[in-house]
Structure 1
Amino acid sequence: MNRSLTSVQVDGPFFQNLKRKNQYNEDLQSCMTRTMAKLLETSTSEHHPGMLLGKIQSGKTRTFIGVMGLAYDHGYDVVVVLTKGTNALVKQTYARLHQEFEERIEADDMRVYDIMSIPQNLRKYELSQKLALIVKKETHNLDRLKEALLETYPGLSGRKILFIDDEADFASVAYENKREQNLKTMRVIASKINELRSTLNRPSFLQVTATPYSLYLQPEDMTIHEGKVFEPIRPAFTELVPIHDRYVGGDVYFDRADVEGDVASYLYHEVKENELEVMKKMDGRRVKMDRLLTQKNIPNIREAILNFIVGSSIRRWQQKQEGSRPEKYSFIIHTERGKHAHAWQGELIRSFEDLLIEGAREESPVFKELIHASYQDLIRSVKALKGNTIPTYNDVYEEVRMSLDEEYIVSSIVNSEKDVTELLDVTGQLQLRAPMNIFIGGQILDRGVTINNLIGFFYGRNPKSFQQDTVLQHSRMYGARPMEDLAVTRFYTTQKIYAVMKRIHEFDRELRQAFERGGHKRGVVFVQRDMDSSIQPCSPNKLLLSNLTMIKPHKRMLPIGFQTGYKTHIQKTIREIDRRVEQLKKNARYTEHGAYLVRLEDAKELIGLIHSTLEMEEGRDFHLEEYHGVLDYLSSENGSGAYVWLLTREKRQIRRFKENGKFENSPDTPGGEKGELSVARKVAENHPALIMLRQEGKKENGWRGAPFWWPILVAQRHTSPTVYANKTVK
C-alpha cells in the first residue's frame, strides 16, 4: 500500500516534543516527513537503504533525530543508531539523544542505551518502551547487538526496527580495495549487519552521509553503460537535507574566496611546506624558544596564534558592546598524527603563550607590533561585513592585553580517545575551559566530535593520497557559523593541500548537483588517461582525489600561480608560438565570431610550448598530461572530429598579483559580448575552446619583462558531467 506524504502524522508525542524544542522550519520538516513516508512505503535494506544526503556539519544529526521521532510515532519500537568507531562519538550521541528526547524519557515512554552497557535484566515494563540503541561500527558492538536482539531479549527481534547508519561515508561501504588497511574489518561489519538483518522482521535502513561519492563505490550490480558511464547502486530513495542559512561550507572557502572584497576572500592564508617541517619535531637549530616572537622560519604559526587571540578579542569586545555574554572560542592545530609531534607542538604553543603574556605585561615594542599587524589583517574582513560594530585598534589592544594578563588562553593536546573523553563536557562536546582554547591533535579530532566556536584552523595533514570524507572533516572548517565569527576566522594550510581541497569541493558539488537535478539516474562519467594515452573508462574506486578534475559545460581550466621563464630562455619559444598561431588562423577549418576551428593535435602542441615557458610556484600545478587528457576527452565527446576553437588576444597588461596579494586568476575578463570568455562560451557548443592571451609580462606588473602566452581551456556546452582522473590506483 502506498502512503502519500499527507498520511504521515506530525502531531504524535515524540515528534511534537522535538518540533517544539527545535523550532523546525518548513523545509526541514518536509524533508523529515518525506523520509518517513518513503521508509513506510519502500522496502529498504543495507544494500538498498534510504538515504539522507546532507553536507558536512550541516545538521544531518538534527534531521535524522527528527526522523526517529516520526518513526516512534508510526509504529517503530527500536531505532539502532550506528556511529563511527570512537567512544567519544558514542558518548556525544548518547548525550544528544537524551537531550532531544528528554520529555519522553522522563515520561517513561523511551530509553536510550549504549549497546555495550545495556542492562541484562530489563523488565517487561522497560521493554514496552521505545528503545534507542547506540552501536559503534565495530565487531564487538555488533556482536552485542545481535546478542541483545536475538538472545537476551528475543522479543525485540519481532518488533519494528529502524537502522540509522550515521556518517555512512565510503569507509562504511563494503567495496573491494586492497589498499585499505581496514578492508577486512569493514567487510566483517557489513556481513554482520547483513546476517542480523536476515533474522529480523523486515527492518528498515536509513543511511546518513555527506559524501555522495560513496554511492559510486559499491561494486555489486554496478554496470558500465555505453562503455563509459558507471551507474551507482541507487538507494531505495534519496532525500536531500536542506541547508540552513548559517551554514558555511566549500562555497565560502573556495568559490567566494576568489571574489575580491568578500569576507571569504580573507579566510585562507598560505603556509609554506618548510614551516610544516618545523612543526614535525623539536629541532633546536631551527627553533629558538626564546625568539619565537621574531623568528623568521615560523611566521604562519605565530600569525595564526596571534590572529586567533586578536580575533577572539574582537568578537568578545563586540559582544560586550551589544550587551550580550562574551563567547568562548576555539582554534585547531592538526598537522601530524604522531604523539611526539603533538608533544612538541604543545611545548611550542605554551612557549608562545608565555612570551605573549610577558610581552603584554611589559607592553614591549615587539608585542605591540605583532598585535597591530594582526589587527590590520583582521579588521579588513570585519569591515567587509556590513552592519558590523568596528572596534578601534586601542579597543582591541586593551582587550588582548587584559586577556593575556588574566591567562584567558588554554592549550590542550588531544591525540587519544582518553584525551577526548576527559575533555568532553556533559553534552558530549569538547569542553571550552577558557575564553580562548587551542586544541592540538591528529585524526581523533575529525571523528564527529563537536567543537564549538571554531575561528582558527592550522591544517597540515599531507597524505600521499587524499580521501574526500576525511580531508574535509580533518580541518573541521565547515558548519554553522555566525557571519561575525567568519569575519575573524582564518584558515592556514599549504597551497598544495588547499588546491586538493578545492578539487574535492568541486567534485562533491557536481555529484550533489547531479542528485539534486536527478541526473545521477543517468550516471556520471568517470574516465582516465590510460597507459597508451587513450581515454578509457575508470572505475570510481580507483580514483586518487588529489588527481582528478571535474568537467562540466563551459567550465574554465587554467594555470594559476606562476612566473615566466627569463626572457633569454623563453623568447625563442614565444616567437615559435606566435608563428604557429598565425599559421593556424590562416589554415583554420572554420571561423566564427573571431574564433578559429583548429585540429586537436595543433592545440595540444601550443599548450605544450606554453608549458615550457612557465615556472609554477610552490604548491601550484600545471600538469601537461592533465590538460592534454582533458582536451582529448572533450574532443572525443563530439562525433564530428577532434577539433578545438582557438581564440587569441594580444598586448595584455595584466598584473601578476591582485590588490589583495593573491595570484591573478581571471586573465580572461568577460568584457560583455565581445569579451574573450563570452565569445569562447558562445562558440564552444560541440567543441572545446582554447583561449590564448598574449601578455606583455612587464616587470612593473610583477613579471620578468618577457612576453608570454596564458592558456585557458573552456569545455563545450554539450558535454556530460565528468570526473577525469589524471592518475589512478592500480
Structure 2
Amino acid sequence: MEKGKYYLSKLKEHNYQPEFQKCIEDACQYCINMTFSQSDNDLNDKEKHPIMLLGKIQSGKTRAYTGLMALAFDNQFDMVFILTKNSKALVQQTYKRMRREFNDFIRENEIDVFDIMKVLNGLTDYELNKKIVIVAKKEKSNLDRISDFISDYTIQQRKNCLIIDDEADTTGIGFNKVKGSDDEFDLRTIASKVNKIRGSLDGCVFVQVTATPYALYLQPDFDEENLAPIKPKRTISLPSGEGYVGGEYYFLDSKDDAHPARYIFEPVLEKENELVSDQKRKGKKSKIDDRRIFKEEEIITSRDKLVAFKRGLMNFVVGGCILRRNNPNSHYAFIVHTATQKTSHVKLENITHEFFKQIKSRDSRTSSIINEMLQAAFIDTQKSVEAYGYPMPGYKDVENAFYNAIDKDYISVTVVNSDKDMDAVLDEDNGELRLRSPFSIFVGGQVLDRGVTIPNLIGFYYGRNPKTMQQDTVMQHSRMFGYRNEDLLSVTRFYTTQRIYENMIRITEIDLALREDIESGKFTEGFYFIQKYVSHKKDENGEKVKDEIIPCSPDKIRISNILLLKPNSRLLPVGFTPIAKSYARKISSEIRRHLAEIIDEQERDAVDVSLDVLEPIIKLAYSALKQDEQALRFVSLERLLTTIRYLADNENKVHLIVRRNRKIAKYKGNGVTYQDAPDNGREELAIARKVAIDKPALMLLHQDGTAEGWNESEFWWPVLFSQKNTRRTVFAMPDAGGRLKVK
C-alpha cells in the first residue's frame, strides 16, 4: 500500500495523529484487499460485507473518511460515492467540504467533485479519467441519478470505487411487510436502491460510517444473490482527539461529586416535561395549548409552571454574558428539543419570546420575580464556573450585562422543522448552525440531530420521553457532544427529567461496553453483542411501569432473528445430524484424548479450563455435526465461540462439565420437534447453575449414537451456560430465514 505519497500528503487536513493515521491505513488496506486480492478466501468475501468506520457523535468521522478517500486515490481507486443523510442542507455541507478539502487537486484538474443532481450530461473520457467524488443524499431521485450515471458511463468497467454511506444506520436499512403475506418482507425503497448501486459496481467496497452501529450489527447475513450484506465483518474504531467531550463526560464523570461536570445536569420535573412534550391529538388540544392548564402571558408570574424551562433560559443568558466578558463578539446557542409536532415547536417559540418580552418590559409587579430568577441563575452558574477554576465576575457586572442583552435584543428564537428551515440557519461556508445573535435559541425536533454541528452550545433542554427509548436515536440527539473548551463547559447545562438522565447514563454505559469489546477484538467473527435494559418500576399508584432501552427502531431489524442472551441461559446447536459412523468415531476418540489431559474421566464436578485449551475441543465436536436444512435454531461454531469468548471476558476461563455415554433421541416425544435440552436438569445443569457465577460453564455431553435419529454415530454435544453475573445482551443469528424478497 502506498502510504499517502501524493493525495493524502496534500490533503488540507493531512496532519493526522499517529493513532488516527493508523485507522485510515488499516481501512484502506482492507479496501485494497477486497478489491485487488486474488486469494480464494478474499474473493469469497469480495464486495460483500462492508467495512465500518465507527466514531463518536461529532468526533471527526468526516475527517476520517476524507483521509480514507485520499489514501484510496493513492492506491488505484478512482471514484467515491458519498451518500449523506436525506437532507439538502447536509448534502451541500458535504459537497462544500469535499471541494474545500480537495481544492488544490480540483484547480490542477486532477479531481472533480459533483453533486449528483448537478452532474452535466455527456461527460467526456477526459473528465472520467480524473479522480471523481460524487455526493448524493439517500433519497429516491438522487439514488436513481447515481444508477443512471453508472449505467451511462459504464463505471463498473473503468473505475475502482468506494461507496461511503455516511450515517449508515439511518435511511439505508429498513423493511416493509409484503402485502398479503404474514412473514415476507421487502427492503424499503432507499435501502433497495442502495443495494442496487452496490450490485452494479465491480471493484467496489462499501464503507459504513456511523457513531450508532446497533441496527447494522443486528442485521442477518443474507443468502440472497441479489442482496449485498449489510452487517459489517470488520469494524475500525476511530479515536477521538484531545478535547472531545461525549457521553462519558456528561453522564459518567458527572456522577463524581468532586468532578466539575457535576453541575451540568439540571433536573426537570415529570409534570413539566409532560406539559412541554405533550402532542396535539385528534379532537384534543395538547396540554401546553390548554389555557386551563397554562397561560403564556403568565410565564413570569406563574412560579410553579415551566420552572426548569425558565431556569434554563436565565442560565443560558447569564452564562453567555460571563463568557462574553473575554470575547465581546462571541455568540452562543441553546437548544429546545421536546415534542415532535411543529405546532408544539411554534408554541414553545412563542412562550420563549413572551418570556424575554416580559423581562424587557418589566414593571413593579414582575421586577422582583425576575431579579429572584437572575440571582438564582448567578449562584447556580457561579458554582460551576469556580469548580472549573475560572474567576466569577461580580453580581452587579452580570446583572448589567444581562439586562443590556435583553434591552438591546441580543436574543433570537428560531424554529427549525424542515430542510427549508435548515437552509436558512446553516452557515454557507462551514455547514454549522449559524448563530445570528449573541444568544441564539433553536426550537426543533429530528432535524436538529445527525450531522448538524451547533457551535458554542451551552444549554440543552431535552424532553423526548417515550416509554421505550431507542438508543441510536437518543444518542444522535446529543448535540452537545463534540470538541469543547472548558470555558464553555463551565456554564453548560443539560435540562431533562431524572428518568431520561438515568437512561442516558445506561445508554452511555451500554455504548462504552460495546466499543471496548470491539477494540479488544472480541467480535472477530462479525457477531456483535449489544446490551439491553428493561426495568419494571412502579408509578405513583404502585403499578409496574415498563422502562426499556432498545438498540434501534424495530423496523430496521424486523427480519433479523434476534436472540436474547441473559444470565443463566443456555446456547447450543439444535437440529443437526452426525457425520458417518466411522469418521464420527475417530473424532470422538480425538476429543477423549484431549479431555484426558484436563479432566479425570470419573470427575462429576466442574473444573476450570482455559479457553485456549477448550477451543480446539469445541471445534472438533462441531466437525462431527452437520446442520439439518430445515433447522432454524442451529447455533454455528463461530457463534458459540464468539459467545463463549464474550462471556469469558478477560479471565479467559470456563467451568467445564463432562458427561459420557448419553442416550437421548434426536426428537422430542412428538417425533417432530428437535431435542433442545440434552443436559440433565437435576445433575449437570444444577452444577452449571451453581458454579456459573462470574464465568460461564460449558457442558460437553457425549452421545453414543444408539438413540433414535443419530444413525449409530456418536458425537459430543456442546451446551454453553451463561454466568449469573452477566448483563442481558441481544444478537442476531446469521440468516434471514428466507423471509426477505428483494424487488
Note the C-alpha offset of 1:211. 2.0
Q: 1:219 to 1:101 in 2, by over 3 A?
A: same
Describe how 1:236-385 pairs up with structure 2 within 5 A: 236-279=233-276, 280=278, 281-295=288-302, 296-317=304-325, 319-320=326-327, 326-359=329-362, 364-385=367-388
> How far did residue 312 of structure 1 move?
1.1
| 2:233 and 2:524 in contact (8 A); partners too | no
Larger radius of gyration: 2
Q: Deviations over 1:177-228 (max 9, x none)?
A: 899xxx9885333333333333322211111111232343112269xxxxxx
SS at match of 1:305: helix
2:77 is the alignment partner of 1:76: yes
Q: Does 1:391 align with 2:384?
A: no
Paired residues of 2:321 and 2:401 also in contact (CA < 8 A): yes
Cα separation, 2, equivalents of 1:85 and 1:402: 41
Q: Which runs of 5+ in 1 are unaligned?
A: 1-6, 223-231, 531-537, 554-634, 646-683, 688-715, 726-730
Inter-partner Cα distance in structure 1 for 2:332 and 2:686: 57
Corresponding position: 1:39 with 2:45: no
Alignment of 1:583-602 (within 5 A): none
> In structure 1, how many angstroms separate the alpha carbons of the residues matched to 2:564 and 2:504?
12
The residue type equivalent to 2:414 in the other structure is: S
Q: Which residue of 2 aligns with 1:666?
A: none
Structure 1 residues 518-557: aligned runs within 5 Å: 518-521=521-524, 523=527
- Matched with 2:232 is 235
What RMSD over aligned residues (CA atoms) do the two structures have, in Å?
A: 3.8
Q: Which moved more, 1:121-130 or 1:82-91?
A: 121-130
Q: How does 1:569-588 map to 2 (within 5 A)?
A: none
Q: In structure 2, what residue type is equivalent to 1:316?
A: R
Q: Secondary structure at the match of 2:469?
A: coil
Report the Cα distance in structure 2 between the residues aligned to 1:363 and 1:478, rounded to whole angstroms: 37
- After superposition, the Cα gap between the structure-2 partners of 1:311 and 1:106, relative to the gap in structure 1 and judged at 3 Å, is same
Pairwise CA distance, 1:150: 1.1
1:391 to 1:549, Cα distance in 2 relative to 1, 3 A: farther
User: Deviations 1:64-96 (Å, cap 9, x if unpaired)?
Assistant: 111111122222221100111111211111122
Higher deviation after alignment, 506-515 or 495-504: 495-504
Aligned equivalent of 2:660: none
Asked if 1 retains the 8 angstrom alpha-carbon contact of 2:349 and 2:414, the reply is yes
In the alignment, the residues of structure 2 paired with residue 113 and residue 199 of structure 1 have an alpha-carbon distance, to the nearest angstrom, of 20
Measured in 2, the distance between the counterparts of 1:107 and 1:192 equals 34
SS in 2 for 1:37: helix
Q: CA deviation at 1:344?
A: 0.7
Partners of 1:107 and 1:233 in 2: how far apart? 37
The answer to whether structure 1 residue 445 and structure 2 residue 448 are counterparts is yes
What is residue 10 of structure 1 aligned with on the other side? 4
Q: CA deviation at 1:326?
A: 4.0
1:120-159 matches, within 5 Å, as: 120-151=121-152, 153-155=153-155, 157-159=157-159
Number of the residue aligned with 2:729: 723
CA pair 457-529 structure 1, distance change in 2 beyond 3 A: closer
Taking the TM superposition and a 5 Å limit, the aligned residue runs for 1:433-582 are: 433-521=436-524, 523=527
Equivalent residue number for residue 408 of structure 2: 406
Identify the residue that residue 93 of structure 1 maps to in structure 2.
94
Aligned to 1:226: none
Aligned positions of 1:43-82 closer than 5 A: 43=35, 47-82=48-83
Opposite residue 432 of structure 1, the aligned amino acid is L
1:169 corresponds to 2:169: yes
* Cα separation, 1, equivalents of 2:190 and 2:238: 27
Letter in 2 for 1:723: T
| Counterparts of 2:357 and 2:565, CA distance in 1 | 47
Contact 1:158–1:201 (8 Å) recurs in 2 = no
| Structure-1 separation of matches of 2:402 and 2:178 | 52
Following superposition, the deviation at residue 512 of structure 1 comes to 1.1
CA contact (8 A) 2:175 2:186 kept: no
Task: Answer whether contact 1:80 1:164 (CA < 8 A) is retained.
Answer: yes
Instruction: Supply the distance in 2 between the matched residues of 1:529 and 1:89 (Cα, whole angstroms).
Output: 33
In 2, Cα distance between equivalents of 1:301 and 1:125: 59
Taking the aligned partners of 1:186 and 1:221, their CA distance within structure 2 comes to 12
1:500-551 Cα distance to aligned partner (Å, 9 max, x none): 2222222211111110111123755679999xxxxxxx99889899xx9999
1:650-729 equivalent positions in 2, closer than 5 A: 685=694, 722-723=728-729
* Structure-2 separation of matches of 1:329 and 1:529: 36
The offset of 1:123, in angstroms, is: 3.6
2:314 partner letter: L
- In structure 2, the partner of 1:694 is none
> In the alignment, residue 512 of structure 1 is paired with which amino acid?
R
C-alpha distance in structure 1 between counterparts of 2:105 and 2:295, whole Å? 59
2:434 aligns to what SS in structure 1?
A: coil
Q: 1:261 to 1:286 in 2, by over 3 A?
A: farther
Task: Look up the SS of the partner of 2:455 in the other structure.
Answer: coil
* Secondary structure in structure 2 of the residue aligned to 1:56: coil
Distance 1:61 1:550 in 2: 35
Q: Deviations for 1:454-510, whole angstroms, at most 9, x for unmatched residues?
A: 111111122343222211112423222112211111111122222222222222111
The answer to whether structure 1 residue 418 and structure 2 residue 411 are counterparts is no
Question: CA 1:263–1:156 in 2, change beyond 3 Å: closer, same or farther?
Answer: same
Asked whether the 8 Å contact 1:304–1:456 carries over to 2, the reply is: yes
The normalised TM-score by structure 2 is 0.66
- SS where residue 289 of structure 2 aligns? coil
Structure number with higher helix proportion: 1
Q: What is the alpha-carbon distance in structure 2 between the residues aligned to residue 423 and residue 528 of structure 1?
A: 37
Distance 1:685 1:109 in 2: 59
Give the 3-state SS of the residue equivalent to 2:188 in structure 1. Answer: helix
Q: CA deviation at 1:351?
A: 0.6
Sort the Cα spacing of 1:219 and 1:21 in 2 relative to 1 into closer, same or farther, 3 A.
closer
Matching residue's letter, 1:366? I
Label 1:378 to 1:639 Cα distance change in 2 as closer, same or farther (>3 A): farther
1:643 deviates by 5.7
1:391 to partner: Cα distance: 2.1
User: Cα gap change, 1:529/1:313 in structure 2, threshold over 3 Å: closer, same or farther?
Assistant: closer
Distance 1:158 1:485 in 2: 50
Q: Is the 8 A contact 2:112 2:131 kept in 1?
A: yes
CA distance in 2 between partners of 1:184 and 1:112 (Å): 37
Equivalent residue pairs, number? 543
